[in-house]
Amino acid sequence: MKQLIFIFLFLGSLSLHACNSAPGDDNGTAGSNDGQVINLTAETFQKLIWDYKKNPQEWVFKGDQPCIIDFYADWCRPCKMVAPIMAELSMEYKGKIRIYKVNTDEQRELAGLFKISSIPAVMFIPKSDKPQISVGAMQKANYMDMIQKILLVQSNLKK
């Protein structure tokens, strides 16, 4: 009986902890860089990437590190192939770049803002230049090559 009570208490404490932070929420610091892919909404995009409502005509990157944004949808098979690659890259480049994802079905405003009509679409955002978008699924090596050429070469960072 004591074991059963202990198990219920343990499971209850785990569920309470899980309810305190949503996946990708980083306990309210959606811009933290703990090696996780972070979900973006239009609101968090404006806070962390670019406030397109305040500066609609001019790209002003708000981030402190280069980043990638994976535009996807849950029903998209190629997007499902890209997701684990982005998770791996997020861990491998932890502390150097941030990786975000945007569900185009839920965040239509963001998809429309960048004229995303085909997914997966991956946006590479260097710290001091304009974003570049790649459409379609690629191999991990191709993403790594683009990270080096677009994101890290400008900052003189290496993996």
The C-alpha atoms of residue 142 and residue 92 are separated, in whole angstroms, by 15
Residue 104: count other Cβ atoms within 10 Å of its Cβ. Answer: 21
The C-alpha atoms of residue 140 and residue 128 are separated, in whole angstroms, by 24
The yes-or-no answer on residue 79 being catalytic is: yes
Q: Which of 48, 76, 97, 147 is catalytic?
A: 76
Q: Which of 40, 79, 144, 150 is catalytic?
A: 79
The yes-or-no answer on residue 19 being catalytic is: no
Residue 57: count other Cβ atoms within 10 Å of its Cβ. Answer: 5
For the chain, where are the alpha helices, taking DSSP H only?
2-20, 42-48, 77-92, 108-113, 140-146
The C-alpha atoms of residue 100 and residue 107 are separated, in whole angstroms, by 13
Catalytic residues: 76, 79
